[in-house]
Amino acid sequence: MESFSFWFFGGCTLIGSLLVALCPKLVHSAFSLVLALIGVAGLYWGLGADFLGGVQLLVYVGGITILFIYGIMLTPKGATKWSLGSLLFPGVIAVVPLCVMLHLAWKGLESVIKPVDAGVPQPTVDAIGRGFLNREEYLIPFELASLVLLAALVGSVYLARRKKES
Amino acid sequence: MDFFDDATPAWYALAILLLPAAGFCWNAFTYRTEFTRKRGHIVPLLTIGTALFCALTIFKHAVIDGDVGDTPHAASATHDAPAHDSGGADAPPAAGSLADPRWSWSSKAHGVVYRIIDTGALRIDAGITIDHLTATMLLVVTLVAFLVHLYSVSYMHGDKRFSRFFAFLQLFSFSMLGLILTDNLLLLFCFWELVGVCSYFLIGFWFEQDEPPKASMKAFMTNRFGDVGFLIGILLVYRMFGTTDLAEIYAGLQAVAEGRAALPPLFGWEAGTLLTVAGLCLFTGPMAKSAQVPLHIWLPDAMAGPTPVSALIHAATMVAAGVYMVGRIYFFFTPTALAFIAGIGTVTALVAATIGLVHNNIKKVLAYSTCSQLGYMMLSLGVGGYSAGLFHLYTHAFFKACLFLGAGSVIHAVHTEDMREMGGLKSKLPVTYRTMLIATMALGGVPFFSGAFSKEMIVEHALMWGWSHGLAHMLPAIVAIGGGGLTFFYMMRLIYLTFYGAPRDQHKFEHAHESPPAMTIPLMVLAFLSFFSVGWPMPFLGGHKLPELLAAPPALASIALGHGADHGHGGFALAFGVLVLSCLVIVFGYRLYKQTYKDRNPGPEVWVARLRPLHTTVSNLYYFDEFYRATIVRFSYATARVLALFDSKVIDAIVNGVGTVGQLIAAGFAAFDRIVVDGLVNLNGTVCHALGSRLRRLQTGNLQDYLAFAVGGMAFVTLLFLFLA
Amino acid sequence: MNLQDYLHDLSRIWPEILLSVTALLALVCDLLQRGKDPRVTGWVTAIGVLFTLGWICRDVGLADGSLVFGMIVHDRFAMFFKLLICAGTLVVTLLSLFFRGFQRDGIGEYYSILAIAAVGAMFMVSTNNLLLLFLALETLSISSYALAGFLKRDARSSEAALKYLVFGVLASGAMLYGFSLLYGYAGSLDLREIAAAIRTHLHVGEHGLSPAGIGCGIAVVLCLAGFGYKVAAFPFHFWSPDVYEGAPTPVTTFLAVVSKIASVGMILRFFGGIPHDGEGAAPLAAVIAALAACSMTFGNLGALMQQNAKRLLAYSSIAHSGYLLAGVAALVAPSAAAGLAHGATAGEAHGAATGLAHLAVGGITGGQAVAFYAAAYLLMNLGAFGVVIYLSNRFGTESIDGFAGLGWKAPVACGTLVLFLLSLTGIPPTVGFVGKWYLLQPIWSKGMHWLAVVLVLNSVISLFYYFRLARSLFLVDASKALASPRKHAFGTELTVVAVTLAVGVVWFGIKFEWLSDLVLSLRV
Amino acid sequence: MQPLAGYVFLGTAMFVLGVFTMVTRKNAIYVLMGAELILNAAALNFVAFARYMGNRLDGQMFAIFIIILAAAEAAVALGIVLQIHHHFPSIDVSKPDRLGD
Amino acid sequence: MISTIDSSHLLSWITLSPLLGVLAILFTPREKHDVIKTLAAAFTGIPLILAGWLYFKFDQSQAGYQFFEDMSWVDAFNIRYTVGVDGLSSPLVVLTCLLMFFAVFSSWNIEKGVKGYFMLLLLLAVGINGVFVSLDFFLFYVYWELMLLPMYFLIGIWGGPRREYAAIKFFLYTLAGSVLMLVALIAMYLKSGDVPSERTFSLIALAQKGQAGLFDHGSTLFGMELRSWLFLFLFIGFAIKVPVFPFHTWLPDAHVEAPTAISVVLAGILLKLGGYGLMRVNMTILPGALWENGGPTGWATALALLGMINCVYGAFVAMAQTDFKKLVAYSSVAHMGFVLLGLAAMNPNGIAGANLQLINHGTSSAMLFLLVGVIYDRAHHREIGKFGGLASHMPMYASLAFLGIFTSLGLPGLAGFWGEALSLIGCYEVFPKITAVSTIGLIVTAAFFLMTIRKVFFGPKLPQYAGFPDLSLREWACLVPFGLFCIVLGVAPFLLTDWIRPSVEALASLFGKS
């Protein structure tokens, strides 16, 4: 079951990501992103992060994607020119070394990390909730996150606001 | 009380030295006052007159009275012979101690010392040395200087820089007297250069004209060449003996000669080479100052200065300073060095005399004559005729000064220096004519005139030297003898062209008139001195001739190298032979003159035509000037220009470029691009800017380029990491 | 949960709390007056920041190195950097208040976001937890994105914001990925353990690096991308000239000064645990040194031909990142003496190098030097930007050619600018020189001699463009000045700010003992 | 238990594709989507490592905060994109090039 | 090493009193030119008087530092405010005070930016004197750099047509040198002790440690040992100031473009800093780099060779110049070559000669620049070829010019001679061939100076210069003291050599041992 869910959601993620990168049409890419994000959520569940999977679905699929679709509406039709030739050079430049780097990084990590099978993961909601409010744990990040969101909110509102004065 | 028992002579000497300096200062600082501008000659005349008096006093006590009871300086404690007994010239030194047997008095022994510098290693205690040579030189210089001062009062009358002329004369007198009085080689060098500067300013006195500034610069530069050699010589001497004090150098060399010390090894040379090289380096100074070939070129040009200057500086005193200096450090010269000196003197005597034959400028003929006579002196010193050379200096000073002043008088009368525009002036300028004739006789070496004595001594020594050294070494003697004829010929030619025959420029002839007494009196005094010679045994010299008192020091360098003093006095027979020979030569010279100029059978033009190539060469002064111009001068200018270009284009650029790290990076960055090297500093086209602008191309403004760069950057850093790890 | 502990912990983060409250107050204030007069909001913020600054000054001595809230270190290092951040924010607030472009309604939010950014910056330098570190960094970043685009009417401001944002997202994404790998390597989010893991893995053995070492190094390289972006170091600096030029000048100041100093503090926190008993991470030090050298050279060369003063200062700040990173390299490098000691008297060196003695033995450390330089950088760069604001306010120009002859029209402000430039070049008697001198010591004593030479030669190159400014200001006759003064340009206020900073620059250039003692008490 | 390598491979792939998208696609929305892929790659790594190091919570917490920040970032990003769209009537990220040498 | 400790803070007063002048001028209204100039004169006059006091109180029999002051500055790094003078520095301090005073006077005709000008001039005085009196390397460096900024602006604002170029060139060159010095400074500091409390910047302590061989056995970097690196870095720092070929090209530009008074200061004092630094730092702290195993090392030979190049090359390049000021500038290059020769000799004669040359060049080149300034003020050009017959129009000017020129070409009896002669004598003992070649410089120097005299002063009167007035009283008063110095130091060089002898001997005693 675990194996199946990994392969299924992993496949969703991989295909979604590929399509995001390669789809010529923006709308298609956006929906591919949704697919990939759902895949990631599935992988989270497979990794025992049930709460996280939920958050991923809610925030990403439900929130961020909406934002993007809003953005897509700004785009004039046919504005996304795209051809393989124009992508090849920067793509190769960017991707190949990165692949090598990440491969090496993983090879190194593989030799170090000792997988510990701590059994089937337990539901995490409770622990996460406590963690957020525990002085010794994630209280400060939690509070700071609120500030970030406030700043982001205020900032985006300011930026998106049409000028009243003009 | 004996004059030389205490410090009194030092005060006299200081008076001699400093009075002219004070006169210079007076004239220099008051030159704006009415008094100095109009009567600028009074103070100088007073000072130089007083100096003359003091010099006479010293001369009287040192030479005439022989008040020399005081023990000499330095290592001469063993020596107690009275000065007069130093006797025959060039006597071989006593065996054993090589202390200088000659009498000398040093002010240091009496506490009159001026410590001019002391670095802990080099210490210069300036003192005053008086010996017979000094006393004689003092007298010559002060006397000629006084007469020239007097002469100039009239000659320079009305010149707008009248007072300044006297100021420089004073400064010159100061320097020249200092040169004579000092007992330190480095200080001698100082005064040496100072007289050069005075000469420079006096040659260039009429600087508005075209010629004098050039001539003055030429004089100074030529001398500078010699001086640098001199300086290197001093450096070598200091390196060898650790001192520049003449007495200490003497003592040092004495120790070497007596085998008590050894010279420091330098350059791996042995002592002989070292001493010879040092001696020759030192000699380059006199070579330039005394106008020896090939550094003689400045002297004829120096005639561009006022004539009294020519008389004082370029005939009587300064140019003779070289000879004096060689005499002063005579003990230092090795036989090789002396032979070189003799050679140079010979060449100079000959070359200058031949040029004198053809020149038409009255002063230049005299200048070449001076040159030639200085050659004689050097020749004499070189062949071991120490006293002969210095005595010739003494006699020459008077008759040559007389000739120059006479020439000045002529020029004053006819306002030209070209003898082709003169002629027949005998009647118009009787005093000048007569005095000049006497001086000519003296210069020509006509017996019983002063010049004859010194010249014959020279010839005698040259013959002796040639005899003892082999046939090839007879050349100096031959030149010395033959030169006498040439000298007499060209001098008679001068007299003829100036005073005899018909006036060739009627206008000038008519306006000519005899000079005022201020000019003629010095002429007469000098003429008297040209005739009256202390070459005779003089009663007031205790029955000695003056040259006998100018005894040579022990030839320390020769002794140190194992040579003895190898020639002695020639004896009466030789002297008589020489006298006869000289007379014959003079007669020959006179015949030649008479035939060519008086009888015009054949006239000079014919000779010129016959000897065309030779005449061309000689009248072009043997192309010395051209040679120097084509080599040294051109080379210097070319070097200067090339280096200046190099400096501005290359050094600047390289330093600017390399100085920034930019250059290094640029090599990699812009291998295919023009490498601009004018550096960081220039606003455009610097390496850094080239680099900078190349960097700017990265800063495209396109966001995605930046992103790609950043990703590439990560790869780059990774590579860097893998490489460095 | 013990309330006492809770209050204790809270009391340790009062500056952050005060600043957060300031941000909220500013927001409320802006809302209350419906965005009419942003200057009131600005002054409220300024007072809040000032208050915080005072609090930090009061608390510097209390820092005891304790851990509060499980992930915040309350030590002198944090307090020092908070001090710098707060002081920087205060000056930026003042500059914003006097900035001509901000003298219109509806930008009250600016101050609030500025304060939040400062809060993020403070957490950045005080945490030892990767999570909080990232969060704080993003707080600063996200706020900064918004700030950069605050001049909405100006297309260049928007462009700057976009470039800053996109570049930032990529760089911090890479960094985040690096974090995840490091989390894998260290098995912990604790910076000390991560540093220990880096030290262990990056130990160069006889056969070079192990695969784990290479992988770990690559993870660190990914992190460096993010750090490099934050401090604008080569090759992650490309955003900075454009953003500095486009962003409103006070924001540029904030980015160049506060954000950079906070990032440097963060980097010190991150790598500060690596050196231990004379050991370090040689390959990492080499990489950082190379980046430092490249940064200073690229920054300086790039600056040579700039026409815009802000852009010039941007390149200059790239170069200064290089200087700072050079200090970091010295911090990370294994000590040369330790290498020797391993051969000879390992025991002795070991004994001497532990504990408090590390100060006595090694002299000033790379971290301390960087901290000092950061302080110097704060003073001089704030000053330089302040005068640029002054000039653009008063004469309406930011181009160097436009500055021609203005030195004679505003001698005091321009004179202080020359002083700041002198300090940036590193010429005594200014604090910039002392900073360079501090930096050179550990660099040299760690055996990175070439870097020391590159650094000083770079300061020579930098002289050239800094003094292009001076040349333009003073070497051109006043009669040839193109710009004419404008009214209502806050000339006096800005001059006061500049002069104050200039006094600081000279004062700490001569009497730097106090600052020096403070820095030497930092445990990095 | 599924091997860790699989998750890391997925993370790597998402990261690389995200970078690829950001670097090559001109549309600002694409660029932001690429950014989301990158963030998700990191988050997936965190969660996977946490799971394989013994069901730890810190990795998940990190992932949660990544999501929060992604949201905040996206909000600001869209604000900025709106601005860009206003000034340069396009959301092509290569259009704004007024700044640059 | 320390002879007298001073409680009157004489050196501090000499150094820092111009700062009071800066403050005073700062608060003087811009338009009050006369007040500003008077203030400047006063605040350069005070140090001058104090320097006179220094001269009389200085014990010439002591080699150690006198008027020593020592105060703590930054304890953490053992940085101290330590000042003191010995025979090497005290003459230069006096020279500085003197020249600064006259620089103020010769700047009296400045009309543009008077306030700034005099403030910068006073600041410059602080920097220069500070370098000479500092006995703490850190302090030394601070003062060293303090000079740069005033100089930059003084050349850059008040200079000639290419002033900007010249100013930045000066600044860049000097900074490039001094940053390398900074590296060496730090390296020495770090090497001077194992723990911070033992480390020191004190030049005295560093000298003791260096002479004891502390820096002799350092690690090898890029194939060169630490000592050589230190020597090289310090040498470049000082060589640029001297300036030594090939770092000299800033000098003609800076000299030519600078206003007269600044040229005077530049040539008269700034160049001396290089020579002084070589003595005080390179030779004192790193004697082993110059003299090892009983003979001179390659560095010493290099020093002598560079000196030779300076002498000959500088003179030749000067010969090709057509700009009077540039000619004088290049002649400075040639003259400073003798300083290098003297220092390379490392014996009492050489070092004394170098010191004499520093002082003498300080007076003679200052005088020459003043002279060029005089004629430039009248003719507004400096082309040698365009002048002529000035000796007729301006006899007093010409006389003083001759004095200056002949001093400069090393005429015996004037100041210039002794420095050159002693340097040559000293160097000849160690490097005879190099010295012999260097004497070419003497000839060429004479040649170009005489050529200048001929072209500028001699020759027929030219109508365009007919109306030129002779020296004004102010010009006269500026020039005559220098002329007097040239003469006095020429006939009485013992005034200087006695003064410096103990210190020179102390320095020379570091070398020559086998």
Percent of chain B with pLDDT over 90: 25
Q: Please name the residue of chain B whose CA is at the shortest distance from the CA of residue C237.
A: B710
Tens of pLDDT, residues A52-73: 999 998 888 777 777 777 777 7
For residue B7, pLDDT over 50 is answered with: yes
Per-window interface: E 163-202 vs B, CB < 8 A: 165, 168-169, 172-173, 176
> What is the C-alpha radius of gyration for chain D, rounded to an integer number of angstroms?
17
The DSSP line for E287-340 is HHHHEETTEE-HHHHHHHHHHHHHHHHHHHHHHT--BHHHHHHHHHHHHHHHHH
Alpha-carbon distance E66 to E68, whole Å? Answer: 5
User: What pLDDT, on a 0 to 100 scale, did the predictor assign at position B96?
Assistant: 56
pLDDT tier at B564 (50, 70, 90 boundaries)?
low
Which two three-digit tokens encode residue D76? Answer: 């600001």
Q: In which band, very low, low, confident or very high, does the pLDDT at A163 lie, cut at 50, 70 and 90? A: low
- How far, in whole angstroms, is CA B638 from its chain's centroid? 29
Q: What's the mean per-residue pLDDT of chain B?
A: 82
Best to test chain A binding among D4, D37, D62, D84 (most A CBs inside 10 Å): D37
Predicted confidence at residue B650, as pLDDT, reads 73
Query: CB-based contact (8 Å) between B724 and chain C?
Result: yes
Q: Do B699 and C242 touch (CB under 8 A)?
A: yes
Q: Verify whether the Cβ–Cβ distance B708 to D23 is below 8 Å.
A: yes
Q: Which residues of D touch A67 (CB under 8 A)?
A: 74-75, 78
Which DSSP helix (H) or strand (E) runs through E83? strand E79-85
Which chain D residues are Cβ-neighbours of B692 within 8 angstroms?
A: none
Summarised one tens digit per residue, pLDDT across range C344-392 is: 333 333 333 333 334 434 578 899 999 999 999 999 999 999 999 999 9
CB contacts of C423 in chain E (<8 Å) are: none
**What is the per-residue burial (b if ≥16 Cβ within 10 Å, else e) of A78-112?**
eebeeeeeebeebbebbbebbeebbebbbebbbeb
Cβ of E157 within 8 Å of Cβ of C475? The answer is yes
Contacts of B117 in chain E (CB under 8 A): 418, 422, 493-494, 497
Of C123, C146, C153, the CB nearest to A144: C123
pLDDT at B666 (0 to 100)? 36
In degrees and rounded to multiples of 5, residue B623 shows phi and psi of 60, 25
Radius of gyration, alpha carbons of chain E: 22
Measured over the CA atoms of residue A150, residue A153, residue A159 and residue A164, the dihedral's sign is negative
- Whether C429 and chain E come into contact, CB under 8 Å, resolves to yes
71-100 of A, contacting B, C-beta below 8 A = 90, 93-94, 97-98
- Chain B residue numbers with beta carbons less than 8 Å from the beta carbon of C204 are 725
pLDDT over 60 (residue D75) = yes
Does residue E111 belong to the interface with chain C, where contact is any CB pair within 8 Å? no
Task: Specify the DSSP class assigned to residue C355.
Answer: T
What is d(CA B185, CA B173) in angstroms, rounded to the nearest whole number?
A: 19
Chain B hits for C284, CB-CB cut-off 8 Å, are: 721
Chain centroid to CA B623: how far? 22
Nearest to C301 among B688, B712, B721 (CB): B688
Helix (H, G, I), strand (E, B) or coil at C353: helix
The answer to whether the Cα torsion of B421, B427, B431, B435 is positive or negative is positive
Phi, psi of B287 (to 5 degrees): -60, -45
CATH architecture for residues D4-87: Orthogonal Bundle (1.10)
CA distance C68 to C61: 17
Chain D residues with CB under 8 Å of a chain B CB are: 19, 22-24, 26, 93-94, 96-101
pLDDT band at C251 (very low <50, low <70, confident <90, very high): very high
Q: What is the pLDDT of residues C107-134, one digit of tens each?
A: 888 999 999 999 999 999 999 999 999 9
Residue-level pLDDT at A28: 85
> Mind telling me how many Å the CA of B652 is from chain E's nearest CA?
6
Contact C463 E186 (CB under 8 A): no
Tokens encoding B97: 């101690």
- The residues spanned by each domain of chain A are 1-80, 122-166
CA distance C391 to C414: 9
Whether the upstream peptide bond of residue E243 has omega within 30° of 0, thus cis, is yes
pLDDT tens digits for E430-463?
898 899 999 989 988 998 999 899 889 998 888 8
pLDDT above 50 for C156: yes
Residue C39 CA, distance from chain mean position:
27
pLDDT band at B377 (very low <50, low <70, confident <90, very high): very high
Between strands B123-126 and B114-118, the pairing is antiparallel
Closest-approach residue (CA) in chain B for E172: B681
How close A14 comes to chain C (CA, Å)?
A: 17
State the nearest Cα–Cα gap between A45 and chain C, in angstroms.
19
Name the closest residue on chain E to residue C516, using Cα atoms.
Answer: E76
pLDDT band (50, 70, 90) for residue A77: low
Residues of A in contact with B711 (CB under 8 A): 93-94, 97-98
Question: Is E190–C467 a contact, with Cβ atoms under 8 angstroms apart?
Answer: no
**Cβ proximity of E273 and E241 under 8 Å:** yes
The per-residue pLDDT for E169 is 84
Alpha-carbon gap: A165 to the closest alpha carbon of chain D (Å): 16
| Contact check, Cβ <8 Å, D32/A145 | no
**Which of D34, D50, D90 is the closest to A79 by Cβ?**
D90
* Bridge partner residues of D92 (DSSP): D27
Chains that touch E (3 or more CB pairs under 8 A): B, C
Contact at CB, D39 and C138, closer than 8 angstroms? no
Whether residue A6 and residue D6 make contact (CB cut-off 8 A), yes or no, is yes
Q: Is B124 in a helix, a strand, or coil?
A: strand
Contact flag B190-E446 (C-beta cutoff 8 Å): no
B494-524 pLDDT per residue, tens = 888 888 888 888 888 888 888 888 888 999 9
Fold that domain A1-80 belongs to in CATH? Four Helix Bundle (Hemerythrin (Met), subunit A) (1.20.120)
Cβ count near C415 (within 10 Å): 18
| Cα gap B694→B666, rounded to integer Å | 10
State the pLDDT confidence band at A85, using cuts at 50, 70 and 90.
low
Q: How far is A21 from chain D (nearest CA, A)?
A: 5
- Contact assignment for E439 to B231 by CB distance below 8 Å: yes
Average pLDDT over residues B610-634: 81
Q: Does C150 touch chain A (CB under 8 A)?
A: yes
What does R_g of chain A's alpha carbons equal in angstroms? 20
Tell me if chain A has a CB within 8 Å of the CB of C356. Answer: no
More confident: E500 or B724: E500
- Say whether B715 and A101 touch across the interface (CB within 8 A): yes
- φ, ψ for residue B553, nearest 5 deg: -75, 165
Mean pLDDT of B40-54: 92
Q: Could you tell me the residue ranges of all domains in chain C?
A: 1-127, 128-520
* pLDDT (tens digit per residue) in E38-81: 999 999 999 999 999 999 989 988 888 999 999 998 888 889 99
Percent share of chain E, pLDDT over 90? 59
What would the DSSP string read from start to end of E430-468? H-HHHHHHHHHHHHHHHHHHHHHIIIIISSS--GGGTT-
How distant is the Cα of C294 from the closest Cα of chain E, in angstroms? Answer: 19
Query: Do D and A make contact, counting contact as 3+ CB pairs within 8 angstroms?
Result: yes
Ranges B72-81, B88-97, B392-401, B583-592, most confident: B392-401
Of A136 and E52, the structure prediction assigns the larger pLDDT to E52
Extents of the domains making up chain D? 4-87
**Angle at the Cα of A101 from the Cα atoms of A95 and A103, rounded to 5 degrees:** 100
Contact flag D100-B701 (C-beta cutoff 8 Å): yes
Torsion region of B109: left, alpha or beta (phi above 0 gives left; psi -120 to 50 gives alpha): alpha
